[in-house]
Amino acid sequence: MSQVDIYLDAAERTNTRRSYASAIQHFEVEWGGLLPATIDSIARYLAAYAESLSLNTLKHRLAALSRWHQDHGFPDPTKALKIRQVLKGIRTLHPAQEKRAKPLELEILRSVADWLTSATAAAVCRGDSANALRHTRDRALVLLGFWRGFRSDELANLRIEFIEIKPGEGLTCFLPRSKGDRNLEGRSYSCPALSRLCPVEAVEDWLALSKLTAGPLFRKVDRWGHLSEVELTPSSIIPMLRKLLSQAGVADAESFSSHSLRRGFAQWAGMSGWDIRELMSYVGWRDVKAAMRYLDGVSPDQKARFEQGLDRMLPETMGVSTPQLPGLSEVTLTTIEVTIDLSPFNGGRRGVANALRDMASTCLARFQAQPLDEDGRRYRISVPTPSNDTLDEHLYTLLDELHRIADARECFLEAVCRDPVSGKHWD
């Protein structure tokens, strides 16, 4: 292998190469397709598996086929209008709800952590070093995975030499490469020490018991208590987590996956008052739409708005007294008009349409946005305003999120929020 080939090989994730190779094999061997392919053959291939494979799987197969044609110097048939129309038809005739991992809630996290603590103590008492190591490792993995919102591949890729622990303060770790790091720049992640369910303390316990000083943080432990030299594989974390949940007495353990840790943390953060910008920065999301997929629960602010409406309407219509939530009557809403002016970086209009759609469905939707024009450029929103400072915070956060979406869709943005009563502007 030449020096150039070595660098080209390093530029692509091993999992990507493996999955693309599998997709090409499926097209050629299982379906019997020929490469280079024609537009008609790819359309027939999609139609043949439209009912048995998910739309995301079909799109992945198309990406692999597209890559093969580009690498071998052939015209790319996957970009043809006919292929896009076939995909649109499949989406219309075979709608499917996206499957998402069940979030691991804080109570479940506590149950698993407590069970592992008890199991570790029992293993130490009976001299079972293998299970003592395994349970200590698992407790560190689960707690760090939850509080850092890590995916299974990120947990598997953690290395001890890239971890810095300050006892009682927190932990910092560096990942040279991860799924969302398209430019391979690497990223540092920090995690605070907590008063309970502490991930920092759990990692310290694991390092002290295992006596590891370098190499992968989380490794396989065999039946005799020997530690492997290599890291756990990401695919092994799912059955490991399900086994822990089952042992801890959690019902329906099979509905959880390694992604449940990330979703559980995101849901906890959302219910604890984190705004979307803060959560995206902590977890490492760059796309607002991707982050919002994790926040599918009802937020406290949204619940307060429901209760406020019930409290205002039911006493008059039912003629009975309704107990009021503490402090709910003090929350007022300020009507704000939002004006959005978007223009694309490269002259295309699709990015503008996608940006407007993302803005309307995410950050504007939180404030019960009502469009004021047919183009979707002007909205009226209702902002909870217990104080002027809170109003400023809500609106500046909203503007930051609008700019983040515009950047992701490669658009220039000029956005202004205006109070039609006072005439005050935020931009």
Which residue among 269, 297, 318 closes a domain?
269
> Residues 210, 231: one domain?
yes
Q: What is the pLDDT of residues 380-413, one digit of tens each?
A: 888 877 666 677 777 877 888 888 888 777 788 8
> Residues 117, 49: one domain?
no
> Residues 72, 112: one domain?
no
Range of the domain at 398: 327-426
Question: Does a structural domain hold residue 226?
Answer: yes
Which residue among 269, 297, 317 closes a domain?
269
pLDDT over 90 for what percent of the chain?
Answer: 20
CATH code (residue 168): 1.10.443.10
> Residues 228, 259: one domain?
yes
Question: Does a structural domain hold residue 300?
Answer: no
Q: Show the 3-state SS of the chain.
A: CCHHHHHHHHCCCHHHHHHHHHHHHHHHHHCCCCCCCCHHHHHHHHHHCCCCCCHHHHHHHHHHHHHHHHHCCCCCHHHCHHHHHHHHHHHHHCCCCCCCCCCCCHHHHHHHHHHHHHHHHHHHHCCCHHHHHHHHHHHHHHHHHHHHCCCHHHHHHCEHHHEEEECCCEEEEEECCCCCCCCCCCEEEEEECCCCCCHHHHHHHHHHHHCCCCCECCEEECCCCCEEEEECCHHHHHHHHHHHHHHCCCCCHHHCCCHHHHHHHHHHHHHCCCCHHHHHHHHCCCCHHHHHCCCCCCCHHHHHHHHHHHHHHHHHHHCCCCCCCCCHHHCCEEEEEEEEEEEECCCCCHHHHHHHHHHHHCCCHHHCCEECCCCCCEEEEEEECCCHHHHHHHHHHHHHHHHHHHHHCCEEEEEEEECCCCCCEEC
> Residues 89, 112: one domain?
no
Estimate the crossing angle of helix 39-48 against helix 81-93, to 10 degrees. 10
> Residues 110, 259: one domain?
yes
Question: Does a structural domain hold residue 187?
Answer: yes
Question: Does a structural domain hold residue 98?
Answer: no
> Residues 132, 264: one domain?
yes
Mean pLDDT of 325-347: 69
Residue 326: pLDDT over 50: no
Q: Encoding tokens for residue 309?
A: 């409406």
Question: Does a structural domain hold residue 99?
Answer: no
More confident residue, 326 or 268: 268
Residue 330: pLDDT over 60: no
The answer to whether the pTM exceeds 0.85 is: no
Task: For residue 303, count other CB atoms closer than 10 A to its CB.
Answer: 13
Question: Does a structural domain hold residue 359?
Answer: yes
> Residues 76, 115: one domain?
no
CATH code (residue 33): 1.10.150.130
> Residues 141, 261: one domain?
yes
> Residues 83, 129: one domain?
no
> Residues 84, 113: one domain?
no
> Residues 78, 111: one domain?
no
Q: What is the pLDDT of residues 246-267, one digit of tens each?
A: 888 887 888 888 788 888 888 8
Q: What is the pLDDT of residues 43-79, one digit of tens each?
A: 999 999 998 888 888 988 998 999 999 989 999 999 9
Question: Does a structural domain hold residue 356?
Answer: yes
Which residue among 226, 248, 269 closes a domain?
269
CATH code (residue 421): 3.30.70.1130
Number of domain units in the chain: 3
Q: Give the mean pLDDT of the chain.
A: 80
Question: Does a structural domain hold residue 217?
Answer: yes
Q: In this structure, are residues 220 and 233 in contact, taking their beta carbons and an 8 Å threshold?
A: no
